[in-house]
């Protein structure tokens, strides 16, 4: 599975007190609208809650053949049979995660907005890197300063890995983000808090597909 295919419209979850059923419904509607990958991110949930959500989400995604990526927790990814894991700079080392999850697992790495981190990832066995925040965002309280479009372009040029952009991306700036060389955009609030997750995902996906069709001719 090519990174630019599953990474086109990448949904990162944000539950924020939503009931489990409503939370899962939002994600499923976004997937029906065109989301190509879902990362389950649960920073404050107990292991039991995280595990239960991962099991339920995997069941929801299977009919659509959309990969489930677990944020940080290699152990939970292994237990639920997720498609992969997304690691931060302070999480399990990539080579250990690869050893645990196997050669077919999707492994992503947050490079934040550091050229040094992007270059260091060149020798790592990761399938993609995520960089951001591109624009100011309130969905990740520990996010650093935004790098903007020029910063994003510099990060893309520094990497031979597929780059997925994250942080403050919406319908007004997505086209400009795609023009910087990324293979896709990761959305949190733009999908999880959308009035109509299906329609929002559909519009985002159309923009991304149009941009990539011109690039990968």
Q: Which residues are catalytic?
A: 41, 110, 140
Task: Output the CA–CA distances (angstroms, integers) from residue 142 to 137, 138, 166, in the order listed.
Answer: 10, 9, 14
In sequence order, what E strands does the chain have? 9-12, 37-40, 68-71, 84-87, 106-112, 128-131, 163-166, 184-187
Helix (H, G, I), strand (E, B) or coil at 192: helix
Task: Output the CA–CA distances (angstroms, integers) from residue 208 to 85, 113, 134, 143, in the order listed.
Answer: 23, 22, 16, 24
153, 146, 207, 156: CA torsion to nearest 10: 20
């Amino acid at each position: 599975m090519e990174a630019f295919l599953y990474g086109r419209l990448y949904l990162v979850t944000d539950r924020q007190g939503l009931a489990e059923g409503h939370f899962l419904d939002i994600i499923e509607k976004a997937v029906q609208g065109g989301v190509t990958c879902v990362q389950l991110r649960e920073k404050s949930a107990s292991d039991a809650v995280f595990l239960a959500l991962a099991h339920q989400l995997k069941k929801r995604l299977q009919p659509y053949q959309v990969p489930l990526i677990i944020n940080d927790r290699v152990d939970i990814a292994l237990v639920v049979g997720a498609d992969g894991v997304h690691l931060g700079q302070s999480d399990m080392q990539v080579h250990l995660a690869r050893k645990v999850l196997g050669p077919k697992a999707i492994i992503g790495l947050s490079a934040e907005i550091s050229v040094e981190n992007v270059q260091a990832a060149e020798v790592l066995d990761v399938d993609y890197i995520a960089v951001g925040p591109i624009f100011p965002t309130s969905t990740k309280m520990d996010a650093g300063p935004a790098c903007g479009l020029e910063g994003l372009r510099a990060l893309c040029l520094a990497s031979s890995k597929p780059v997925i952009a994250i942080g403050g991306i919406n319908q007004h700036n997505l086209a400009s983000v795609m023009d910087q060389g990324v293979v896709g955009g990761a959305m949190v609030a733009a999908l999880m808090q959308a009035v109509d997750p299906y329609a929002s995902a559909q519009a985002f996906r159309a923009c991304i597909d149009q941009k990539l069709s011109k690039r990968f001719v």
